[in-house]
Amino acid sequence: MTMLSLSTEVDTQSLKKLSLKSVTRARELFSPVHGQFPPPDPESKRIRLCHKIQVSFGGVEPASKPTRSAEHNSEKTAPSNALALPGPEGSKELRKGTTEKALVVGPTLPSRDLNNTGNPGKSTAILPASGSFSERNLSTAALMERMPSRWPRPEWHAPWKNYRVIQGHLGWVRSVAFDPSNEWFCTGSADRTIKIWDVATGVLKLTLTGHIGQVRGLAVSNRHTYMFSAGDDKQVKCWDLEQNKVIRSYHGHLHGVYCLALHPTLDVILTGGRDSVCRVWDIRTKMQIFVLPHNADVFSVLARPTDPQVITGSHDSTIKFWDLRFGKSMLNITNHKKTVRAMALHPKENAFVSASADNIKKFSLPKGEFCHNMLSLQRDTINAVAANEDGVMATGGDKGGLWFWDWKSGHNFQQAETIVQPGSLESEAGIYAACYDRTGSRLVTCEADKTIKMWKEDENATPETHPLNFKPPKEIRRF
């Protein structure tokens, strides 16, 4: 037993000695003599740095000799768009005008220097490739070419002008809807009537009475000879346009009805109001199918043929997507901070906009992803939004501001102010509803001065007379 223990001790000691010996030998071979790396050779450092710059920026053209005027300017003041070099020696060489082994980075910004030997209208920054800036590392961000803005450039649109003012209502005009044949449109007012007007001439064709409160919502069916209306009297009515009378009423709302939408493919209508719910009705049976709840008043509702088939905006600052098969919420969008009073679908794209007092936001469908905000802030309570196939979006506010936007980029290209008609107060300049006709060439706005205004594009406008003044934003807000 004693011999075995002695042999194991000898083995462990010999292993330790061998491992220490190998470690010391490796340290002697691979480490410097004084325990520190030797000071770098400046020539080898210059070669390494030149090689690194050549690999990274090999496609950049070499600089030509600067002219005397350029040397004179560089001695006085450094150019505003030249890139500064780190290190004191590099800056001295740049002041002296040495261009030996130099690189030119460009184009950066438009230049007014006529003595520039590079491309006309472009400015170049001269960077010496010497090894004099050994104290700091060369920042690759300083050598990068200026990145162009990723914001989409807006299309040019002609400005819109008011060409007709229609009078006939005795109260605020609150809602509007166009006929599928594009021959007439109907408007609902606070005088509790629905009036039908001829699109071409603006002549009154018919007046329908039946509501006992102001009419806040209108919709005309594409598949039936029906028109639907909703108002502050808690009533939702179905009108037969062949007999010009009410044939059905939908009872169930506990307070006033603020919005109404007709499903494009199903026999279903959607109404939202002050009782904080959106109700889904069967047109034929007058039965209430679903009750879609919010936490506050429902001001806007949209209907689509595909999922999400129902989109609602509310006073609780949220937008909800609803599954029409089960009557349950699919998505809750909380990007807005204030009441969502108006929404509008694009006629062709899978996208919609929502308007609130904080901003106008664009979302993609069907997932409801946030795209961007509009590039200008309309400081009104926006009550109406409409969009046409040409990419022109119109928004109307409480103070009478009618703004026109480019749908693609969110650029505001026109701001119009409605004129209050004689006999009305100056405070009655609000726009409560807006709608394009079926062709998208005419816009109808319903206003608080009891008038209906029709707008169209200015035929005489050209990009030269009305240039596009667009400045892309510095940063894209992702909320």
Q: Do 331 and 321 meet the contact criterion of CB atoms below 8 Å apart? A: yes
Peptide bond into 463 cis (omega under 30): no
| Dist. CA 423–CA 415, nearest whole Å | 25
Q: Identify the pLDDT of residue 63.
A: 55
How does strand 236-240 pair with strand 226-231? antiparallel
Residue 89's identity, in one-letter code, is: E
Q: Identify the pLDDT of residue 41.
A: 79
* One pLDDT digit (tens) per residue for the chain, 479 residues: 444 444 445 465 678 788 888 887 787 776 655 444 556 678 888 888 888 888 777 766 655 554 544 444 444 444 444 344 444 444 444 344 443 444 444 444 443 443 444 444 444 444 444 444 444 444 444 444 444 456 778 889 999 999 999 999 999 999 999 999 999 999 999 999 999 999 999 999 999 999 999 999 999 999 999 999 999 999 999 999 999 999 999 999 999 999 999 999 999 999 999 999 999 999 999 999 999 999 999 999 999 999 999 999 999 999 999 999 999 999 999 999 999 999 999 999 999 999 998 899 999 999 999 998 887 888 888 999 999 999 999 999 998 999 999 999 889 999 999 888 888 888 889 999 999 999 999 999 999 999 999 999 999 998 888 888 887 766 655 55
| Dist. CA 463–CA 138, nearest whole Å | 46
Q: Identify the pLDDT of residue 74.
A: 44
Sheet holding 310-314, edge to edge: 298-303, 310-314, 319-323, 328-333
Token pair belonging to 163: 């060409």
Q: Identify the pLDDT of residue 18.
A: 84
| Dist. CA 188–CA 169, nearest whole Å | 9
102-105-110-116 Cα dihedral, nearest 10 degrees = 20
Q: Identify the pLDDT of residue 192.
A: 96
Q: Identify the pLDDT of residue 84.
A: 40
| Dist. CA 173–CA 193, nearest whole Å | 10
- What domains lie within the chain, and their CATH numbers? 60-139 (no CATH), 160-457 (2.130.10.10)
Cα 65–chain centre separation: 47
* DSSP-derived secondary structure for 226-242: EEEEEETTS-EEEEETT
